[in-house]
Amino acid sequence: MKRLLLLLFLFSLSFAVDETPEWIPIALLAVIAGLGVLIIFYLISYVVEADQMRAMAISEMWQVVITGVMIAGLIGAQALATEFGSGMAKDFGAEDGDTHMDFAIKVTQETVGYQWTTLMDFTNNIVLPMGDLASLSGNCWLFGVAFTYSGCSSINVPFSSASLAARTMAMAILALNSQLVLLNLASRFFFPVLLPLGLFLRTFHVTRGTGGVLIAFAVAFYFVYPLATIITKGMSDEVPLSALGIHYPEPPAINQVGADETWEFSNVYTFEVPAECDPFKTYDYGDGGQVEGFGYTQTQINYLLNENMLDPLLFIFMMGGIFNPALSILMALAVLRPLTRVFGTEVDVSALGKVS
Amino acid sequence: MVCADIGWLYSLSLLSLGMTLVVIGVAYALGQLLSNPQFNVWAKTEIFQVFVSFFFVLLVLFLSDSLCHFRYGDLAGLGPAETNPTSASNPYAYAHPSISADDNVINASGKYLANVAYFINTEMRAARSLYGISEEASRYSRTPCMPAATFCLYGTSGYTVRPYSGLSSWVQILGFSLYTDTASYLTVLIQMALLAFVSGGGIMAYLPLAIVLRSLPLMRQLGGGLLAICVALFLIYPALLTMESLFWNPYQMLGDGWSTLADAADSMGRGFTYVTAGAYAETMAAALLLAGALLDIAAIIAVVVSAGFVSAILAIISAASDQWTLTSLHAAIQVSMQASSISFLTATFLLSLNIIAIGASARELGRLLGQEVDLSRLMQVL
């Protein structure tokens, strides 16, 4: 009864659609084809006097009617998603004319772009220079006697943290890239192709299960997934970072890799490393960076550990890149199983959950 | 190929029907002879089921035959030319191998999977090359000339530094990416093997068997299950793959990044531009030449030899136009990460969808034919 009420509610909304969606003709064709096949079966049942076949044809006829109601319901759902989703997207900064799917894709693209830029800043300003310094060692050779001293190896401690942070950021970007591909998949393939195909297959008894699964996929990933993406992003944006005492990460504007691919802090002609760390001057480390030759390293370590660098990085990448995409896909998958039941079948989507 | 042997399957199905009818007829005769009504009831029930089975088998064979004769070009032509996978005007048309408009649906599905495999393989090779060059660059070290004023006469005294050791963070990221790509690649290979098995006709041999099994005592459920699996695998699976090939193109999704990815895939051994190393070698060469001019003739000869050595070093480490730079490496890694996500979604996620749809179809059909088929185990294995 609840399902019927839901469909009836959506049915009224089907009249709110301004333009006929592309999938409607194919879906209607599916219903007509199904109806034609059932009529033939019904007539044959009279010819061969098979009551069982006739009862089956009548029962299946109801399924055609239900498919018709589903089409109306889906048109209504699309209208609802367009109106409600666009309105909600507008609240979160969407432009006029953006559908919920357009905005979800745009939001994800912007997040990926921002995160990649931040990762590049972090890599070029922190990870690479710090790795350079950490690898610095001093050699002394005289008449066959030599020693090597890795006086800067203690920088490996913050360098490992920086390296781990960079890896985590890259993982977050991979997750967001996958979200972007999945949204495109839903927009280009699931809804315009799988939905009418599912409606067609659902009309016939032998392929009803497949049809139900395809419709459920189309609905879950076209309606629920982008809306979940917008909502999770909106939730993150609703609370300004400053209110949490967090600022956007500001990598130090020193030691950048120049356009000519040379290190600014390395003198390429003499190979003297002018300031960051002198492996022969081990006593420098006890003086808190006040002595000659410890300036840049200390600054980089401070940037990494202070609240303007690590906290915002953790927040932005963990929340925006890992937690939000995981939450969005969980919402879509949570809806998927009940939807398959609504559309006439029941499948185990737990494997898909593991894949996701 | 089942498309070539479908007539044989019709004949075999007819033979199965005949054999089963003979068995039922014998059972009926025995029932009459022994005055055993149980035999007669069984025979009357089974005669209806045999024709139900035969009808289903004929339907499946007819639809399979249709798939074999359905031209891919007719389906592809339904969409716009710029996204048509077989059109020459589509820059992202499949080319590894190309799909002909005259290919049947099953062949086209196989070629689509081959194109996806090529895409993922290219991404794997790109990730491997980028992994290698990141590791190589991160391990590169240099030792300065100390002190320069004495023309490095103190030998190797001074500093040793690995300027790109920070690139080791990419090594692990690319390792993870490579791992994901490998899983995706194997998934596509599994799909290709499954399609080859299905289209090879091996599974269709179950169809005539199903006619017999459905009429044997205690075997109806097994026969129904076999029939359901045949329908799901032979009709639903290629149909879904065809739809995917028509409307989802990983090359198109990656867009302009494809040329970067293909270039990175072929870059093994290209090397990294160590600008500072080149400058170091030049300094060293100049110092040696100057020192040579100040020393005796024997030393000059030694210097000439050394200069030749330095020139050789210079040739090795000086920047060639196609060597990786930090900027081009980062750009390629960005594309590779995008390609990795596309590969995973195309191979693994869509395969899961296909298997779930096949499982649902087999389950519904199996229920209709007397046996609920649970393919969830198979799905989990895949």
pLDDT, tens only, A300-327: 566 666 666 666 777 778 888 888 888 8
> Which of A130, A136, A137 is opposite residue B166, by nearest beta carbon?
A130
Report yes or no: A80 and A10 within 8 Å, Cβ to Cβ: yes
Contact A163 B243 (CB under 8 A): no
Contact A131 B142 (CB under 8 A): no
> Which of B138, B273, B334 is opposite residue A261, by nearest beta carbon?
B273
- Cβ of residue A262 closer than 8 Å to a chain B Cβ: yes
Per-residue pLDDT band for B346 (boundaries 50, 70, 90) equals: very high
Residue whose C-alpha is closest to residue B231's, from B97, B76, B335, B365: B365
Q: Report d(CA A223, CA A228) in Å as an integer.
A: 9
- Cβ of residue A173 closer than 8 Å to a chain B Cβ: yes
Query: In sequence order, what DSSP letters do the residues of B276-344 get, joined into one string?
Result: HHHHHHHHHHHHHHHHHHHS-HHHHHHHHHHHHHHHHHHHHHSPPTTSB-HHHHHHHHHHHHHHHHHHH
A237 pLDDT exceeds 60?
A: yes
Q: Report d(CA B31, CA B128) in Å as an integer.
A: 72
**Residues with Cβ within 8 Å of residue A132, at least 6 apart in sequence:** A263, A266, B161, B162, B163, B164, B165, B166
A192 pLDDT exceeds 90?
A: no
pLDDT value, residue A261: 38
- pLDDT tens-digit map of A35-67: 888 888 888 878 777 777 788 788 888 878 888
Mutation pick from A210, A255, A333 vs chain B, by most beta carbons of B within 10 Å, is A210
- pLDDT tens-digit map of B32-55: 888 888 888 888 777 777 777 777
Contact B368 A205 (CB under 8 A): yes
pLDDT cut 70: percent of chain A above it: 68
pLDDT value, residue B104: 86
pTM of the model: 0.80
A276 pLDDT exceeds 60?
A: no
Q: Compare A328 and A209 and report the one with higher pLDDT.
A: A328
Q: For this complex, say whether ipTM is above 0.90.
A: no
- Cβ of residue A340 closer than 8 Å to a chain B Cβ: yes
A353 pLDDT exceeds 60?
A: yes
pLDDT value, residue B314: 56
Mutation pick from A60, A261, A277, A329 vs chain B, by most beta carbons of B within 10 Å, is A261
Q: Report d(CA A175, CA A116) in Å as an integer.
A: 12
The alpha carbon of A220 is separated from its chain's Cα centroid by a whole number of angstroms, namely 15
User: Mean pLDDT across chain A, nearest whole number?
Assistant: 73
pLDDT value, residue B181: 94
Q: Give the amino acid at B213.
A: L
Beta bridge partners of B142: B161
User: Mean pLDDT across chain B, nearest whole number?
Assistant: 78
Q: Compare B136 and B141 and report the one with higher pLDDT.
A: B136
- Cβ of residue A302 closer than 8 Å to a chain B Cβ: no
- The top-scoring range by mean pLDDT among A28-32, A268-272, B75-79 is A28-32
pLDDT value, residue B184: 93
pLDDT value, residue A288: 42
Task: Report the gap between the CA of A198 and the closest CA in chain B (Å).
Answer: 10
Mutation pick from A182, A185, A267, A297 vs chain B, by most beta carbons of B within 10 Å, is A185
- pLDDT tens-digit map of B224-234: 777 778 878 88
Torsion of CA A135, A136, A142, A147, to 10 degrees: -50
Say which range, A153-157, B142-146, B249-253, has the weakest mean pLDDT: B142-146
Report yes or no: B52 and B224 within 8 Å, Cβ to Cβ: no
Query: Which contacts of A344-348 are long-range, i.e. CB under 8 A and separated by 24 or more positions?
Result: A344/A63, A344/A202, A344/A208, A344/A209, A344/A211, A344/A212, A345/A208, A345/A209, A345/A211, A345/A212, A345/A213, A345/B360, A345/B363, A345/B364, A347/A209, A347/A213, A347/B356, A347/B359, A347/B360, A347/B363, A348/B356, A348/B359, A348/B376, A348/B379
Q: Could you tell me the two tokens for A125?
A: 């300003």
Q: Which residues of A touch B281 (CB under 8 A)?
A: none
- pLDDT tens-digit map of A146-166: 777 777 777 788 888 888 888
Per-residue pLDDT band for A270 (boundaries 50, 70, 90) equals: very low
